Structure 1
């Protein structure tokens, strides 16, 4: 796996590394190196060398630095000269760049290849609202990003690449980590509540990654689509449900899902929270029991790189906490 050094003035590198971990999960062979006000160039060089020494693969190293020509870049560039056949440097560090680098390591074995690949994502991550402030050439450019209708799936049917329960719906972990690993052409939020909320619908559509269409549909509409999806032949669909109850209703209605990824369920009054990201009411627990009886399997992970948690153990703990709370 290609190793990554994130280098910056001040604590930007530490912060963006933490942000990347929140979205894509903890990563091996990634180090942040910071230039602080009381440090000189030689101090920074030593920190860079110490970071590189921790890597299992020191032949393929990608450096993501904040500013072309700044001290972090200059010190990296001095080390780079002896390794330029394998190492690569990309300046202009931003979070989309880092996330894309993490995703690229899953399929690319060369720092040069990843460096070339992440440039477009880093540039596309810079956007502005209102859209009228965009340069004219930027407004005209996106036509090439349209998804290919024939991408995956059998003719006349959806290919359901992921179905996820997540109270946050379309957010960073979905738009980056899960989209990169499942390669959908459409992200579909299945929710009666969101379908009635024009603001939430608009925000979800704007959060879709480049080249992927985002839709919000009521549950009954998703059931109709699942039963007659010939207009979406070959499309790869990533479905998002806000609650397990919505997922159960869709599956009972005929949406052919055999597995649900369980990402997050927000805490609210009357719920118990057996782990950091999942909170349950009695209705939630009963709903998962009904889903299990239907043969649905559960994949409990925030991001693809996480290990899978045992859903039954989590439900047992939640039930015990609810029973104790209600005594």
Structure 2
């Protein structure tokens, strides 16, 4: 695996490393290196050398630095010069670049390949609002014109329950893992909220179109492959009850990724990211009766949880809660 060193003036590198872990999960062979105000070039160079030495495999190393020509870049460059057939540097590190590097090294074996891959994503992440301030991009065939309504099966690449719907972990880690062409948020509540609808559409990653549809419309779409024919769809639900309504409406949803269910009053929490009330537990059992299976993971790199055991613990805690009240 390609080793990654994030280097910066001050504590920026440590902060962006933490942000990346929140979205993509904790990573192996990644180190943050900082140049503090009281330190000089040799100090950060020594830190870089220790970071490289800590990697189990340091044949392929990618440096992500904050500023081209700055001290972290210069010291990384002095190290890369001795290994330039294998190592690489990319400056201007941002969170999108870091997440893309994590994803890219899952399928790419060299630092040079990963470096080339992450540039486009890093550049696309730089946007401005109002949109009119953005420089005009060269005209290309749009995703809407090139694929909407094209022949073929309407395929579900991920069906996920997540209280937060479309957020960083979904827009980066899961999108990279499943490569959807459409993200469809299925919710009657969100469909009635123009502000939330607009925020979801703006949060969609580059090249992927986001939609918000009410449950009745999703049932219709599931029965009409022609509307989104040939598309790879990621479906996002806020809760299991909405999933059950779609399934009972005739949609064939085989596997549900259970990613995040927020805690609220009256709910129990059998693990760190899932909280249930009695209605939730009953709904999951009904989904099982319809033949639905569950993939319990927050991010793609997590080990799969045992939904049967999670529901058992949730029910036990709910029963205990009921007795105490």
TM class by shorter chain equals over 0.9
Q: Of the candidates 202, 206, 209, which is equivalent to residue 206 of structure 1?
A: 202
TM-score, length-scaled by structure 2: 0.95
Q: Of the candidates 273, 278, 289, which is equivalent to residue 277 of structure 1?
A: 273
Q: Of the candidates 290, 293, 300, which is equivalent to residue 296 of structure 2?
A: 300
* 1:155 shift after superposition: 4.2
Q: Greater shift after overlay, 34-43 or 212-221?
A: 34-43
Q: Deviations over 1:77-97 (max 9, x none)?
A: 010101111111000010000
The answer to whether structure 1 residue 217 and structure 2 residue 213 are counterparts is yes
| CA contact 1:162–1:239 (8 Å) conserved in 2 | yes
**How many angstroms apart in 1 are the aligned matches of 2:248 and 2:224?**
16
**How many angstroms apart in 1 are the aligned matches of 2:247 and 2:38?**
60
Q: Secondary structure at the match of 2:264?
A: coil
- Which ranges of structure 2 fall in alignment gaps of 5 or more residues? none
* 1:268 shift after superposition: 1.3
The answer to whether structure 1 residue 232 and structure 2 residue 228 are counterparts is yes
Q: How does 1:1-327 map to 2 (within 5 A)?
A: 1-135=1-135, 137=136, 140-141=137-138, 143=140, 146=143, 155-327=151-323
| Alignment coverage as a number of residue pairs | 322
* 1:47 shift after superposition: 0.8
**How many angstroms apart in 2 are the aligned matches of 1:201 and 1:8?**
37
**How many angstroms apart in 1 are the aligned matches of 2:207 and 2:289?**
37
**How many angstroms apart in 2 are the aligned matches of 1:19 and 1:145?**
31
* 1:147 shift after superposition: 6.5
Q: Greater shift after overlay, 267-276 or 158-167?
A: 267-276
**How many angstroms apart in 2 are the aligned matches of 1:210 and 1:149?**
15
**How many angstroms apart in 2 are the aligned matches of 1:142 and 1:20?**
32
- Which ranges of structure 1 fall in alignment gaps of 5 or more residues? none
TM-score, length-scaled by structure 1: 0.95
RMSD over aligned CA atoms reads 1.6
| CA contact 1:205–1:215 (8 Å) conserved in 2 | yes
* 1:239 shift after superposition: 0.3
**How many angstroms apart in 2 are the aligned matches of 1:313 and 1:190?**
27
Runs of 4 or more, structure 1, over 2 Å off, are 140-151, 154-157
**How many angstroms apart in 1 are the aligned matches of 2:139 and 2:15?**
31
Distance 1:45 1:121, change over 3 A: same
Q: Secondary structure at the match of 1:280?
A: coil
**How many angstroms apart in 1 are the aligned matches of 2:161 and 2:113?**
34
**How many angstroms apart in 2 are the aligned matches of 1:45 and 1:148?**
50
Q: Deviations over 1:172-194 (max 9, x none)?
A: 01110000010000000011111
* 1:36 shift after superposition: 1.2
Q: Secondary structure at the match of 2:283?
A: helix
